[in-house]
Amino acid sequence: MLTYHQNMSIQSQNAMPNRNYYVPYASLEQAKTSTHKFDSSRVMSLDGTWDFTYFENERQLPANFFSQVSSDFSGSIEVPSVWQNAGFDHHQYVNVTFPIPYDPPFVPTDNPCGLYHRTFELNCDDSNRYYLNFEGVDSCHYVWVNGQWVGYNQISHSQSEFDITDYCQSGTNHLTVLVFKWSDGTYFEDQDKFRSSGIFRSVYLVERPQAHLQQFRVNTTIDLEKVRGDLIVTFDDVANTLSKKYWLYDTSGELVAHEEDFGGQLAVTIENCQYWTAETPNLYTLIMEVNGEFFKQKIGFRELAWHDRQVYLNGQSIKLLGVNYHDNDPITTRVMTPESLKKDMLMMKAINMNTIRTAHYPKMPEFYELADELGFYVVSEADLECHGIVNLYGNKANYNLVGSDESFLPGVLERIERSVVNNINFPSIIMWSMENESGYGLNFEIGQARTRELDPTRLIHNERAIEPDSTRDNDMSNLDVISMMYPDLRNIEKMCQDESLTKPLFMCEYAHAMGNGPGELKDYFDLIMKYDGYLGGCVWEWADHAVSQTQADGSVKYLYGGDFNEEVHDNNFCVDGMTTPDRKMTAKLIAYRNIHAPLQLVSIDLEAQQVILKNINRFKSADAYQASLRLKVDGVIVKEQSLELSDFPAHSEKTFSIMSLDYASSQLVTVELVITYLEERPIEEHNVVGIQELIIHEPERVIEVENKDEAIEGSSLKVSTSENQDTLVISGDDFSYTWQHSRAGFKQLTVAGQDRLVSTSHFTIWRAPTDNDMYIKQQWLGAGYDRATLALRQSHVEQTDESVTIQNRYALVVVGKQPVAQIELNVTIQSTGEILMDVTFDKDPEFPDLPKFGLNLPLTKELADFEYLGYGPYDNYRDKKEACQIGVYQSTPMEEWHHEYIKPQEYGNHGHCEWLRIGQDHGFEIKGVPNFSYLVHSTEQLTRCANDADLVAEDAYYLSLDYQQNGIGTNSCGPYVQEKNRFSENHFNWQFSITPII
Element (H, E) at 895: helix 893-896
Residues 69-106: tens digit of each pLDDT: 999 999 999 999 999 999 999 999 999 999 999 999 99
The pLDDT of residue 708: 44
The pLDDT of residue 821: 98
Residues 189-219: tens digit of each pLDDT: 999 999 999 999 999 999 999 999 999 999 9
The whole-angstrom distance between residue 886's C-alpha and the CA centroid of its chain comes to: 26
Q: Which CATH class is domain 338-594?
A: alpha beta
Confidence of residue 557 (pLDDT cuts 50, 70, 90): very high
User: What CATH number has the domain spanning 216-305?
Assistant: 2.60.40.10
Task: Name the percent of the chain lying above pLDDT 90.
Answer: 94
Element (H, E) at 33: helix 28-33
Q: Which CATH class is domain 12-209?
A: mainly beta
The pLDDT of residue 921: 87
Rounded (10°) CA dihedral 563, 564, 569, 573: -40
Separation between Cα atoms, residue 206 and residue 128, nearest integer Å: 10
Residues 363-417: tens digit of each pLDDT: 999 999 999 999 999 999 999 999 999 999 999 999 999 999 999 999 999 999 9
Q: What is the CA radius of gyration of the chain?
A: 32
Torsion angles phi and psi, residue 933, rounded to 5: -145, 155
Cα separations in angstroms, 832 against 710, 749, 776, 863? 10, 14, 43, 21
Separation between Cα atoms, residue 301 and residue 315, nearest integer Å: 13
Helix 365-374, helix 338-350: angle, nearest 10: 30
The pLDDT of residue 264: 85
Residues 834-864: tens digit of each pLDDT: 999 999 999 999 999 999 999 999 999 999 9
What pairs with residue 685 in β-bridges?
Answer: none
| Cβ atoms of 195 and 137 closer than 8 Å | no
Separation between Cα atoms, residue 125 and residue 123, nearest integer Å: 6
Residues 657-674: tens digit of each pLDDT: 999 999 999 999 999 999
Separation between Cα atoms, residue 161 and residue 16, nearest integer Å: 5
Beta strands per DSSP E along 803-907: 803-813, 821-830, 835-843, 852-859, 866-872, 885-891
pLDDT for residue 707 is more than 70: no
The pLDDT of residue 704: 65
Cα separations in angstroms, 976 against 88, 272, 924, 981, 982? 41, 51, 37, 10, 9
Beta strands per DSSP E along 459-555: 459-461, 482-485, 505-510, 534-539, 547-550
| Alpha helices by DSSP H, 364-478 | 365-374, 401-404, 409-422, 442-454
Pick the CATH number of 598-697 from 3.30.70.100, 3.40.710.10, 2.60.40.10, 3.30.1330.20: 2.60.40.10
pLDDT for residue 624 is more than 80: yes
Q: What integer best gives the mean pLDDT of the chain?
A: 96
Residues 276-289: tens digit of each pLDDT: 999 999 999 999 99
Q: Tell me if domain 216-305 and domain 598-697 are identical in fold.
A: yes
What pairs with residue 614 in β-bridges?
Answer: 600, 653
Annotated catalytic residues are 437, 509
The pLDDT of residue 756: 98
The pLDDT of residue 710: 44
Separation between Cα atoms, residue 268 and residue 135, nearest integer Å: 32
pLDDT for residue 709 is more than 50: no
pLDDT for residue 711 is more than 50: no
| Cβ atoms of 202 and 45 closer than 8 Å | yes
Q: Which CATH class is domain 718-997?
A: mainly beta
Separation between Cα atoms, residue 745 and residue 724, nearest integer Å: 16
Taking the alpha carbons of 766, 771, 773, 777 in that order, is the dihedral positive or negative?
positive
pLDDT for residue 706 is more than 70: no
pLDDT for residue 721 is more than 90: no
Beta strands per DSSP E along 844-935: 852-859, 866-872, 885-891, 915-918, 924-927, 931-935
Residues 447-460: tens digit of each pLDDT: 999 999 999 999 99
Torsion angles phi and psi, residue 667, rounded to 5: -105, 150
Where do the structural domains in the chain lie, given as residue ranges?
12-209, 216-305, 338-594, 598-697, 718-997
Torsion angles phi and psi, residue 959, rounded to 5: -95, 125
pLDDT for residue 569 is more than 80: yes
Burial of 648 (0-12, 13-18, 19+ CB in 10 A): buried
The pLDDT of residue 715: 52
pLDDT for residue 438 is more than 80: yes
Separation between Cα atoms, residue 733 and residue 751, nearest integer Å: 9
